[in-house]
Amino acid sequence: MNVFLYVIIFIMGTLFGSFYTLAVYRIPKKIDIIHTHSFCPNCGHKLGFWELIPVLSYIFLGAKCKKCNIKIRPRYFILEILSGFTFVLIAYCLKIDAYNLNFEKVLRFGFIALYLACIFIIAGIDKDERKIEKSVLYYGIMVSCIYIIYLCIMGHNTSIYRYVMYLVSFIMLLILDTEYQIRTAKQSYFIETLMLIFVMIVNSTEFVTLTSILVVFISILLTKMIYYLKNSLNKHKKEHKDLKQIHKFAYLLTIANVILLIGQMRLYY
Ligand SMILES: [Zn+2]
């Protein structure tokens, strides 16, 4: 029975994973993520039901579009599987058990799934374009508000005032960001990263968020040190690739946050 439950959770994870990749591709291009039917970006071929099944469709189609034969990037396949495993790992850490279903744990799992949708999509877009999509941040803050209301209903009163303070800070940053955008006609990556940090604090606790930030800073520092060391040893060959990645702070922060959140759940549940 438990195996059956975990298979369902894995399938759910791959479906979410498929949605993340779709959202990461469509949101920056301003394509509707719900009403537009999935299509091949090369020939526009509308995908049939069987071509929409995560993981399996990639294998059965031989990693190619059925119509124009263009290669489908393995990243979709890998991300869907990774997302499936992340869901299974979270359910396992929360000790979700088919024989003893705990309503509170199932709800916590649901909130984490909604939260992951926010940070994974933000990370994906940041990795591709070094940009934080504000519409996804709004979604994240909406999930955070529902989570806070849930905490209120469940009687976790001690944290409510703190959470309300975070929400107020988020709104203040939003005003600041809007003002900056009107003045400069540009987005402020820094302010939007701070807004993302507040979403993270509400959904993954202060400890996990602050540790994630620390881990990312240390990784950036180490990467920079290795980069300069390599360049000082080998003056002709410059490696720019590593250095480009470390400026995608939201992307790095998401990876650290998810790993630490899973680690924390393993310890506390
Ligand atoms: Zn095609």
- Residues 155, 42, single domain; the answer is no
The domain total for the chain is 2
Query: What spacing in Å lies between the alpha carbon of 59 and ligand 1's midpoint?
Result: 16
Domain stop point among 52, 83, 101: 101
**Dihedral angle, C-alpha 107, 83, 117, 164, nearest 10 °:** 50
Shared domain for 181 and 192, answered yes or no, is: yes
- For residue 26, the CA-to-ligand 1 centroid distance in Å is 16
Q: Assess whether pLDDT exceeds 70 at residue 189.
A: yes
Does 129 share its domain with 82? Answer: no
Query: In the structure encoding, which two tokens stand for residue 46, read together?
Result: 């509308």
Give yes or no: residues 188 and 113 share one domain: yes
Q: Residue 97: what pLDDT?
A: 86
* Residue 65 shares a structural domain with residue 186: no
Sequence-separated (6 or more) residues with CB below 8 Å from residue 227: 239, 242, 243
Q: What distance in angstroms lies between residue 15's CA and the mean position of ligand 1's atoms? A: 21
- Final residue of a domain: which of 80, 101, 122? 101
Q: What are the pLDDT digits (tens) for 99-114?
A: 888 888 999 999 999 9
Low-confidence winner among 19-23, 101-105, 123-127, 178-182 (lowest mean pLDDT)? 101-105
On whether the CB atoms of residues 141 and 163 are closer than 8 A, the answer is no
Q: Write down the pLDDT at residue 157.
A: 63
47 CA to middle of ligand 1, Å?
A: 9
3 lies in which domain range?
Answer: 1-101
Quick one: which of 180, 210, 216, 215 has its CA closest to 198? 210
* Distance from residue 32's CA to the centre of ligand 1 (Å): 19
Average pLDDT, the chain: 90
Instruction: Say if residue 146 is in the same domain as residue 234.
Output: yes
Q: Please indicate, yes or no, whether residues 120 and 145 belong to a single structural domain of this protein.
A: yes
Segment among 120-129, 140-149, 228-237, 255-264 with least mean pLDDT: 228-237
Looking at the structure, tell me whether residues 144 and 183 fall in a common domain: yes
What's the confidence (pLDDT) of residue 242? 58
Distance 66 CA to ligand 1 centre (A): 7
pLDDT in tens, 28-53: 999 998 888 888 888 989 988 888 89
Where is the domain boundary, 101, 116, 139? 101
Beta bridge partners of 64: 71
Residue 236 pLDDT: 63
Whether residues 78 and 123 share a domain: the answer is no
Which has more confidence, 114 or 236? 114
In this structure, are residues 1 and 99 in contact, taking their beta carbons and an 8 Å threshold?
yes
Q: Which residue has the higher pLDDT, 136 or 156?
A: 136
Query: Both 87 and 149 in a single domain?
Result: no
Q: How far apart are CA 204 and CA 233, in angstroms?
A: 41
Question: With bands split at pLDDT 50, 70 and 90, how would you rate the model's confidence at 239?
Answer: low
More confident residue, 238 or 19: 19
- Verify that 39 and 168 share a domain, yes or no: no
State in Å: Cα 72 to ligand 1 middle.
Answer: 9
- Judged against a pLDDT cut of 80, whether residue 256 lies above it is answered with yes
pLDDT at 235: 66
Q: How far does the centroid of ligand 1 lie from the alpha carbon of residue 222, in Å?
A: 42
CA of 79 to the centre of ligand 1 (A): 20
**With contact defined as beta carbons under 8 Å apart, do 184 and 195 qualify?**
no
Give yes or no: residues 108 and 217 share one domain: yes
Three-state SS at 181: helix
Tell me how far the alpha carbon of residue 69 lies from the centroid of ligand 1, in angstroms.
6
**What mean pLDDT is predicted for residues 86-92?**
95
